[in-house]
């Protein structure tokens, strides 16, 4: 093993510092480790895209940022939140009431399926007022801000505020939820598959709105999805999750065009895409690991075309290889990846 | 019209639903889910229908497999009118029961379409019992194991004993696919069949569908809101893509024609939305649409239904309804847009105002 590696990933002003964060569930057939010693830094004001397949632990990462792991899950490690003003906060040391205050006011969240986030018997306006009231904000001022937000999201404020959730289309619900999450002017917005149930056209439209709103409000956005192409053009940096830990982190452009981890490359090559020749698309061989029995060494070795004894013996640390240090991957053979697992999109870039 | 070569032939299909609005149902509106669509599906054909929610693609698909009765128009299976067969109770040349067996469906949510209380073996025995009643239990089991191995569910002996909740999303979808195939269908309606799967598993599933197509001699009507998936599955099979908008088929053609030479502004908008992994490819981040939301289908816009969102719309589009035009003289690529007609009034009519809708009004105020 190498010495302790640098896991700041070139982040200079971290709003979040996550060290050694793990989530475990005790199950009959053993302990299920659904987040495994994750280290991550999130830069203030950036859009971080977190990409992983089903069962890679990406929703756990979202919940961890809010200290909202569902029972009986156990979250351990250190998560430091540094708000713009005020002192840094150790999230895992806070009492339940303190955490409740931080949620929504400082760190807001939007999950997949707006319908389940709204109470079906209350209008959107009632939800807005309740949110302001519970957190002790001035309701009139807050509603004014709410109307502006709705307009920015191409919604008719009065109409939407008087509607019940079921009276709105899926895309409108999701945008109303986005407006509500920004009502208390948070610093961080965590989104877990916020557009997954929507049409592609609506997904793309919402992504553009998120980008615009993020810029205007200096928001830090963590966007979690299984859909790599969706965040490809949105995120400043990308983190790729595999088997409950990050395996690659770096600037979005570098990750997409010069991935350092063979898994990221396989993921890119398996994605249906109008710009990739059909005959070059390849599914990823094998299956994602079970959280109860994660493979030894590098967790990707059973599926990796490059793996050898070394990969079975030792879990590779984050390293940059011969490239830039803000782009790192957990692989023993970073500098050989390019040749061993070529990227389909390569040709497009060289043109 | 009625040709035996077509597995399914749809002629001028209209499916209109009546809906009650308001709590007291004082108004009943008509939703024209499908409004005047014709489409032929051949043997070993793959047709992908692409459009947003509420565009009528699922309704059209269900009409094609005879589970939705059209309010106007004809649906034929190998020349036999499906609803005539149904109504004539047995006197038709092809009995309705046989037609329904030949036209199968795979749903978007595989979890909901499998009985949670039945094992994989039980679920897959049902179609075999129906199509081959003389088959022995042993042969049936062998056949099911063989199919499970074929789709990569190894070892089949273990998988066949499992219940749906013990399967992953992709595995459930495979079981649903096998179940449909064991009916020996001529056409399978795959309604968003890969949309619920992880992006990385979609190609795998689509490859499997196409591989089994060769073996089972079946056609697919593939429905998706994702143009990338549609173009992959239809492209591999040398099929066609149909683009639907508010109940109408606005563009239809071979996959490569649609992807490389899209004509309808709506098709171009769907292209814009299709995910691109190339960070440099998408220089234009702003949406090409005038408004984000689809208009209320109970009250579709006049003239060309797309004019309220179309970046190319002009005054003429508000009043006249565009007919189907062949693109560059190719009869297999058709589009309903005035821009394909060099002599249309469209070219002399003024452009629509930049800000023409309420949504845009409010958006412009900030």
Position A158 scores a pLDDT of: 95
Instruction: Mark whether A270 and A224 lie in a shared domain.
Output: yes
* Span B323-335, average pLDDT: 89
Contact flag B365-A171 (C-beta cutoff 8 Å): no
Q: pLDDT per residue over A193-210, tens digit each?
A: 888 778 888 988 898 899
Instruction: Mark whether A192 and A277 lie in a shared domain.
Output: yes
Q: How far apart are CA A328 and CA A248, in angstroms?
A: 6
Please report, for the domain that includes residue A331, its CATH number.
Answer: 3.40.50.300
Q: pLDDT per residue over A259-283, tens digit each?
A: 999 999 998 888 877 777 777 777 7
State the alpha helices, DSSP H only, in chain A.
Answer: 58-65, 96-105, 114-117, 124-134, 139-152, 157-161, 170-181, 200-216, 228-232, 252-257, 262-269, 309-313, 334-340, 346-350
Looking at the predicted structure, is the pLDDT value of residue B362 above 80?
Answer: no
* Span B13-36, average pLDDT: 79
Q: pLDDT per residue over B154-211, tens digit each?
A: 889 999 999 999 988 888 999 999 999 999 999 999 999 888 888 878 888 899 999 9
Instruction: Mark whether A297 and A217 lie in a shared domain.
Output: yes
Instruction: Mark whether A285 and A166 lie in a shared domain.
Output: no
Which of A273-287, B83-97, B326-340 has the lowest average pLDDT?
A: A273-287
pLDDT band at A345 (very low <50, low <70, confident <90, very high): low
Position A53 scores a pLDDT of: 86
Instruction: Mark whether A216 and A279 lie in a shared domain.
Output: yes
* Span B331-335, average pLDDT: 92
Instruction: Mark whether A191 and A214 lie in a shared domain.
Output: yes
Q: Which residues pair with A24 in a beta bridge?
A: A33, A74
A6: in domain:
no
Position B92 scores a pLDDT of: 78
Position B21 scores a pLDDT of: 63
Instruction: Identify the top-confidence range among B146-150, B243-247, B270-274.
Output: B243-247
Position B23 scores a pLDDT of: 60
Instruction: Mark whether A98 and A126 lie in a shared domain.
Output: no
Position B354 scores a pLDDT of: 59
Q: List Cα–Cα distances, A65 to A21, A74, A94, B353, in angstroms.
A: 10, 14, 13, 46
Position A32 scores a pLDDT of: 86
pTM of the model: 0.86
Average of per-residue pLDDT values in chain A: 88
| Nearest C-alpha in B relative to A232 | B277
Distance from CA of B188 to the nearest CA of A (A): 22
Position B366 scores a pLDDT of: 35
The domain boundary, picked from A169, A185, A201, lies at A185
Complex ipTM over 0.85: no
Domains held by chain A: number: 2
Position B296 scores a pLDDT of: 86
A274: in domain:
yes
The domain boundary, picked from A132, A159, A185, lies at A185
Looking at the predicted structure, is the pLDDT value of residue B242 above 80?
Answer: yes
Looking at the predicted structure, is the pLDDT value of residue B307 above 80?
Answer: yes
Which of A134-143, A334-343, B274-283 has the lowest average pLDDT?
A: B274-283
Q: Does A146 touch chain B (CB under 8 A)?
A: no
Instruction: Mark whether A121 and A84 lie in a shared domain.
Output: no
Facing A273 at nearest CB: one of B198, B200, B276: B276
Which of A142-146, B75-79, B357-361 has the lowest average pLDDT?
A: B357-361
Distance from CA of A4 to the nearest CA of B (A): 33
Position B364 scores a pLDDT of: 36
Position A129 scores a pLDDT of: 96
Position A4 scores a pLDDT of: 44
Contact flag A256-B279 (C-beta cutoff 8 Å): yes
Instruction: Mark whether A135 and A28 lie in a shared domain.
Output: no
Instruction: Mark whether A50 and A140 lie in a shared domain.
Output: no
| Nearest C-alpha in B relative to A251 | B279
* Span A301-326, average pLDDT: 90
Position A350 scores a pLDDT of: 36
* Span B54-66, average pLDDT: 93
Q: pLDDT per residue over B341-355, tens digit each?
A: 988 999 999 988 754
Average of per-residue pLDDT values in chain B: 87
Instruction: Mark whether A102 and A77 lie in a shared domain.
Output: yes
A4: in domain:
no
Contact flag B294-A278 (C-beta cutoff 8 Å): no
Looking at the predicted structure, is the pLDDT value of residue A117 above 90?
Answer: no
Chain B residue numbers with beta carbons less than 8 Å from the beta carbon of A156 are 358-359, 362
pLDDT band at B283 (very low <50, low <70, confident <90, very high): low
What secondary structure does DSSP assign to A113-128, as a single string? -HHHHS-TTS-HHHHH
Q: How far apart are CA B33 and CA B63, in angstroms?
A: 11
Q: What is the span of the domain harbouring residue A198?
A: 14-106+186-350
Q: pLDDT per residue over A3-52, tens digit each?
A: 345 778 888 899 999 999 999 988 888 888 889 889 999 999 999 999 98
* Span B30-38, average pLDDT: 92
Q: Which residues pair with B14 in a beta bridge?
A: B35, B72
Position A177 scores a pLDDT of: 94
Instruction: Mark whether A177 and A87 lie in a shared domain.
Output: no
Facing B362 at nearest CB: one of A54, A156, A284: A156
Chain B residue numbers with beta carbons less than 8 Å from the beta carbon of A168 are none
Q: Chain A window 311-330: which residues touch B at a Cβ cutoff of 8 Å?
A: none
Q: How far apart are CA B173 and CA A196, in angstroms?
A: 18
pLDDT band at A349 (very low <50, low <70, confident <90, very high): very low
Distance from CA of A255 to the nearest CA of B (A): 10
HEC secondary structure over chain B? CCCCCCCEEEEEEEEEEEEEECCCCCEEEEEEEEEEEEEEECCCCEEEEECCCCCCHHHHHHHHCCCCCCCEEEEEECCEEHHHHHHCCCCCCCCHHHHHHHEEEECCCHHHHCCCCCCHHHHHHHHHHHHCCCCCHHHHHHHHHHHHHHCCCCCHHHHHCCCHHHCCHHHHHHHHHHHHHCCCCCEEEEECCCCCCCHHHHHHHHHHHHHHHHHHCCEEEEEECCHHHHHHHHHHCCCEEEEEECCEEEEEEEHHHHHHCCCCHHHHHHHHHCCCCCCCCCCCCCCCCCCCCCCCCCCCCCCCCCCCCCCCCEHHHHHCCCCCEEECCEEEEEECCHHHCCCCHHHHCCECCCCCCHHHHHHHCC
CATH of domain B8-117+163-364: 3.40.50.300
A8: in domain:
no
pLDDT band at B358 (very low <50, low <70, confident <90, very high): very low
Instruction: Name the token pair of B351.
Output: 């452009």
């Amino acid at each position: 093993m190498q010495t302790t590696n640098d896991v700041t990933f070139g982040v200079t002003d971290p709003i979040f510092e996550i060290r050694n964060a793990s989530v475990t569930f005790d199950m009959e057939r053993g302990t299920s480790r659904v987040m495994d010693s994750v280290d991550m830094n999130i830069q203030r004001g950036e859009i971080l895209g977190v990409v992983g397949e089903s069962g890679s632990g990406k929703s756990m990462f979202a919940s961890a940022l809010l200290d909202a792991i569902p029972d009986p899950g156990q979250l351990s490690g250190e998560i430091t939140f540094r708000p713009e003003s005020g002192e840094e906060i150790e999230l895992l040391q806070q009492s339940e009431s303190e955490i409740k205050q931080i949620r929504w006011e400082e760190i807001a969240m939007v999950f997949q399926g707006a319908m389940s986030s709204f109470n079906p018997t209350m209008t959107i306006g009632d939800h807005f007022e309740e949110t302001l009231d519970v957190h002790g904000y001035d309701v009139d001022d807050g509603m004014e801000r709410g109307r502006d937000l709705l307009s920015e999201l191409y919604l008719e404020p009065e109409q939407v505020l008087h509607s019940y959730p079921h009276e709105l289309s899926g895309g409108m619900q999701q945008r109303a939820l986005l407006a509500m999450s920004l009502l208390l002017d948070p610093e961080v917005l965590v989104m877990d598959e916020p557009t997954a149930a929507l049409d592609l056209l609506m997904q793309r439209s919402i992504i553009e709105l998120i980008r615009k709103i993020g810029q205007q409000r200096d928001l830090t956005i963590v966007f979690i999805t299984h859909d790599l192409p969706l965040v490809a053009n949105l995120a400043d940096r990308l983190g790729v999750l595999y088997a409950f830990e990050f395996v690659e982190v770096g600037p979005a452009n570098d990750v997409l065009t010069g991935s350092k981890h063979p898994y990221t490359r396989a993921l890119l090559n398996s994605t249906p895409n109008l710009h990739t020749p059909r005959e070059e698309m390849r599914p990823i061989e094998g299956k994602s690991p079970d959280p109860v029995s994660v493979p030894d060494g590098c967790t990707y070795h059973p599926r990796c075309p490059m793996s050898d004894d070394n990969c079975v013996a030792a879990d590779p640390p984050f390293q940059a290889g011969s490239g830039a240090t803000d782009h790192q991957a957990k692989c023993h053979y970073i500098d050989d990846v390019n040749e061993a697992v070529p990227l389909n999109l390569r040709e497009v870039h060289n043109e | 019209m009625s040709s035996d070569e077509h597995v399914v032939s749809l002629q001028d299909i209209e499916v209109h639903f009546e809906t009650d609005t308001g709590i007291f149902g004082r108004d009943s509106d008509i939703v024209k889910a499908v409004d005047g669509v014709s489409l032929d599906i051949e043997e070993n054909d793959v047709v992908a229908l692409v459009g947003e929610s509420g565009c009528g693609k699922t309704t059209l698909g269900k009409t094609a497999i005879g589970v939705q009765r059209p309010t106007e128009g004809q649906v034929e299976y190998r020349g036999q009118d499906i609803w005539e067969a149904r109504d004539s109770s047995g006197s038709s040349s092809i009995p309705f029961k046989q037609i329904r067996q030949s036209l199968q469906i795979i749903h978007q949510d595989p979890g909901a379409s499998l009985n949670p209380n039945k094992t994989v073996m039980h679920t897959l025995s049902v179609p075999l019992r129906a199509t081959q009643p003389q088959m022995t239990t042993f042969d049936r089991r062998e056949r099911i194991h063989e199919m499970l191995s074929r789709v990569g569910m190894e070892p089949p002996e273990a998988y066949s004993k499992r219940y749906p909740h013990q399967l992953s999303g992709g595995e459930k979808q495979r079981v649903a696919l096998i179940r449909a195939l064991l009916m020996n269908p001529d056409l399978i309606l795959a309604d968003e069949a890969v949309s619920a799967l992880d992006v990385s598993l979609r190609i795998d599933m689509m490859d499997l569908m196409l591989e089994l197509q060769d073996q089972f001699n079946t056609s697919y009507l593939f429905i998706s809101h994702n143009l990338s998936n549609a173009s992959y599955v239809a492209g591999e099979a040398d099929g066609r893509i149909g683009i639907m908008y508010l109940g109408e088929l606005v563009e239809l053609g071979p996959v490569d024609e649609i992807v490389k030479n899209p004509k309808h502004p709506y098709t171009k908008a769907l292209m814009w939305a299709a995910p691109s992994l190339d960070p440099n490819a998408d220089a234009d981040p702003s949406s090409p649409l005038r408004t984000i939301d689809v208009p209320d289908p109970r009250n579709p816009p006049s003239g060309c239904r797309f004019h309220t969102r179309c970046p190319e719309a002009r005054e003429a589009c508000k009043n006249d309804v565009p007919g189907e035009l062949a693109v560059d003289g190719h009869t297999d690529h058709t589009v309903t847009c005035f821009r394909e007609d060099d002599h249309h009034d469209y070219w002399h009519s003024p452009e629509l105002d930049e800000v023409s809708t309420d949504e845009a009004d409010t958006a412009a105020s900030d």
